[in-house]
Amino acid sequence: MARKELWSWLKTIILAVVIALLIREYVLAFYVVDGSSMQPTLKNGQMVAVNKMGYRIGSLERGDVAVFEPPKEIVGSTEERVFIKRIIALPGDTIEIKDGKVFLNGEELAETYIDAVMEQDMDPIQIAANTVFVMGDNRHPRGSWDSRTFGPIPIDTILGKAELVIFPNPHKVR
């Protein structure tokens, strides 16, 4: 009898682990913010819940805060790391930075989530198919390493959308 009960417990534990791994891979994951590139929206050490299903069944939107795998030449081929940045421009958009402001398709972008203007201009670029332009909310000098540095990112490197700050002070990511 004890052997049957042990086997039952083992099957339950294995099933729970498999379900948890599937959820982590395809539905919901948790990441800890490392650095200040998304301040004031996200702060170093905060834990965020990332919806991994949203982009599988929905589409990317400007203003989404996305978690993605950075280009390997940026972080090194052996380091496993993810970046969290705001999607500013989608495929086909033209983006330009002048006089400290972001212009999207010729119109100034209203960015209520930043607390500083940028010091460096950027000539207009058109975003290629299957890529997006991402920026950190920290626009202070050297505040964020983003598409201004490494260019637009492939859409297929995006892991999901940051939806909630879990710890500390739970709230929606805006």
Q: Among all residues, which ones are annotated catalytic? A: 37, 85
- The one-letter code for the residue type at 101 is K
Residue 48, H or E segment? strand 47-51
Count other Cβ atoms within 10 Å, centred on residue 87.
Answer: 22
Contacts of 82 (CB under 8 A, 6+ apart): 31, 67, 68, 69, 70, 159
d(C-alpha 149, C-alpha 173), whole Å: 24
d(C-alpha 98, C-alpha 49), whole Å: 34
d(C-alpha 134, C-alpha 136), whole Å: 7
What angle (nearest 5°) sits at the alpha carbon of residue 48, between those of residues 12 and 71?
100
Instruction: Assign 14 to helix, strand or coil.
Output: helix
